[in-house]
Amino acid sequence: MRLAAVLLAFALLLAAGCGRAARDFEDICYAEQRAGVAGITDPAEKAMRMAQWIDKRLRTRDARRAFQALGGIRCEDKGPILIEAAKEAGYTGPCPIAEDSARKCAESAAKLRESQKGSATPR
């Protein structure tokens, strides 16, 4: 159901004008570098600042909706969906944020498993 909503939002991007939407996706793809957050080590703060920067930069309402819809998607699906949506909007360049997504998801899952092991000590 959520995936259908995301795909619908991405389809709306095409109606908004491919040129502007493509530039919006380029900004999303390079948000970490362009927002100046590469040196921030706290993941929550980094994500918040990138989201704020992206929100200020997006020129199309539909691109903003599509970006917001990514929040409801499983971590491991975000990268591939973002890359596909960018292509549909006319952006075919590299997308570091999507390409790095799989690695970050795997790291987060490993940390979660490790923390759950530590908290499951017998009494």
What string of H, E and C letters represents the secondary structure of 49-83?
HHHHHHHHHCCCHHHHHHHHHHHHCCHHHHHHHHH
Here the tokens at position 14 are 């095409």
pTM of the model: 0.72
Listed residue (52, 51, 66, 53) closest to 20, CA to CA:
66
Question: pLDDT per residue over 35-78, tens digit each?
Answer: 999 899 998 999 999 999 999 999 987 788 788 888 888 888 99
Question: pLDDT per residue over 76-86, tens digit each?
Answer: 899 998 998 88
Q: Return the domain boundaries, the chain.
A: 2-119
